[in-house]
């Protein structure tokens, strides 16, 4: 049973392997499902309790924080995901947003749409020689660091599980906050990372820092971020993820923020790879 939109090629491959119910309108299909496939739909204890035949929950994407893993463990339901597929897409979007912020591309575009020629007000900055702080140097963080290096950026990173990297100089969390011109977050959502960017962390950042979050919304305290954007302590932020999604909160009122609706892995290529990885992982479980 597939609860969220899925790449067509993947869907067809699944149909060759099994009886597929795509985006069912009622909950009866879930009750009979052997496998549940989701992207962002939450799978809580309720759903898991109702699905009497459930053996596998497959998350088309990286994080499994939308799935109640404890409830799965209790019922011996296997949880699989597709961790490698979105890396390039999220990393490329990150660099795109950094360029948008430093060169004020969205503001420039909007002013042109308003028939205004703001050339003199749109003084930007280069990426070269700026210090980029990467929080979480896993698959995506490393891909971002690699791309940033090709722009001649100085890349530092904080990750308690990584001791050295050819793509970034590893530093402490406080050192990263203090020395970065641009900070980008690529950690999973865990008890340790929830609200790791709060008012205290923001205070330690450089005045006029640029902040990006393409990981999970709850990693950043949105109220603290809102205040810091209002006072311009943070010059500009770019967010792809939010505490509550879909997001329509007060950050939409600010001009110094770029907001995208969780599109990090929304590319033809990533969706295709997610589909392929999903089919392979399901085959490993059942065949």
Ligand X SMILES: NC(=O)c1ccc[n+]([C@@H]2O[C@H](COP(=O)([O-])OP(=O)(O)OC[C@H]3O[C@@H](n4cnc5c(N)ncnc54)[C@H](O)[C@@H]3O)[C@@H](O)[C@H]2O)c1
Q: Which residues pair with 14 in a beta bridge?
A: none
Give yes or no for a contact between 90 and 67, defined as CB atoms under 8 angstroms apart. no
222: annotated active-site residue? no
| Residue whose Cβ sits closest to ligand X | 138
Q: How many of the other CB atoms lie within 10 Å of CB of 8?
A: 11
- Smaller CB distance to ligand X: residue 86 or 133? 86
103: annotated active-site residue? no
Distance CA 37, CA 8 (A): 14
Residues in the site for ligand X, rule: CB under 6 A? 61-63, 83, 86-87, 90, 135-141, 158-162, 186-190, 192-193, 214-216, 240-241, 262, 264-265
- Smaller CB distance to ligand X: residue 264 or 275? 264
CA distances from 270 to 10, 20, 92 (A): 12, 22, 12
Quote the DSSP letter at residue 3.
Answer: -
Rounded (5°) CA angle 33-35-38: 110
Which of 59, 139, 262, 273 is an active site residue?
Answer: 262
Dihedral sign computed on CA atoms, order 49, 51, 53, 55: negative
- Smaller CB distance to ligand X: residue 33 or 82? 82
Residue 170 Cβ vs ligand X, minimum distance, rounded to whole Å: 10
Instruction: Report the relative pairing of strands 131-135 and 154-158 from DSSP bridges.
Output: parallel
- Smaller CB distance to ligand X: residue 138 or 275? 138
- Smaller CB distance to ligand X: residue 30 or 277? 277
Residue 140 Cβ vs ligand X, minimum distance, rounded to whole Å: 3
Which of 216, 222, 273, 277 is an active site residue?
Answer: 216
Of 194, 210, 229, 178, the closest CA to residue 63 belongs to: 194
Distance CA 172, CA 179 (A): 11
Which of 8, 245, 269, 280 is an active site residue?
Answer: 245
Instruction: For the sheet with 35-38, list strands across it.
Output: 35-38, 56-59, 78-81
As given in the structure block, the two tokens for residue 246 are 């879909």
Catalytic positions are: 216, 245, 262
């Amino acid at each position: 049973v597939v609860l969220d939109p899925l790449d067509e090629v993947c869907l067809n491959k699944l149909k060759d392997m099994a009886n597929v119910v795509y985006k069912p309108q009622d909950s009866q299909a879930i009750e009979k499902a052997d496998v549940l496939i989701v992207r962002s739909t939450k799978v809580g204890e309720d759903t898991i309790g109702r699905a009497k035949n459930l053996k596998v929950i497959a998350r088309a994407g990286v994080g499994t924080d939308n799935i109640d893993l404890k409830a799965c463990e209790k019922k011996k339901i296997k949880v699989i995901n597709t961790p490698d597929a979105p890396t390039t897409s999220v990393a490329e979007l990150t660099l795109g947003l950094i360029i948008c912020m430093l060169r004020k591309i969205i503001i420039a575009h909007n002013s042109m749409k308003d028939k205004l020629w703001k050339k003199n007000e749109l003084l930007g900055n280069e990426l070269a020689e700026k210090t980029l702080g990467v929080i979480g140097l896993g698959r995506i963080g490393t891909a971002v660091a690699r791309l940033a290096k090709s722009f001649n950026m100085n890349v530092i990173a904080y990750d308690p599980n990584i001791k050295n990297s050819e793509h970034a100089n590893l530093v402490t969390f406080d050192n990263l906050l203090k020395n970065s011109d641009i900070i980008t977050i690529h950690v999973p959502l865990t008890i340790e990372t929830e609200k790791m960017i709060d008012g205290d962390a923001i205070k330690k950042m450089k005045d006029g820092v640029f902040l990006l979050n393409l990981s999970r919304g709850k990693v950043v305290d949105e109220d603290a971020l809102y205040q810091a954007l209002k006072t311009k302590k943070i010059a500009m932020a770019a967010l792809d993820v939010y505490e509550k999604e879909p997001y329509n909160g007060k950050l939409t009122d600010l001009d110094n923020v770029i907001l995208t609706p969780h599109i990090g892995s929304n590319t033809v290529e990533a969706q295709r790879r997610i589909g392929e990885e999903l089919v392979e992982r399901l085959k490993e479980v059942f065949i």
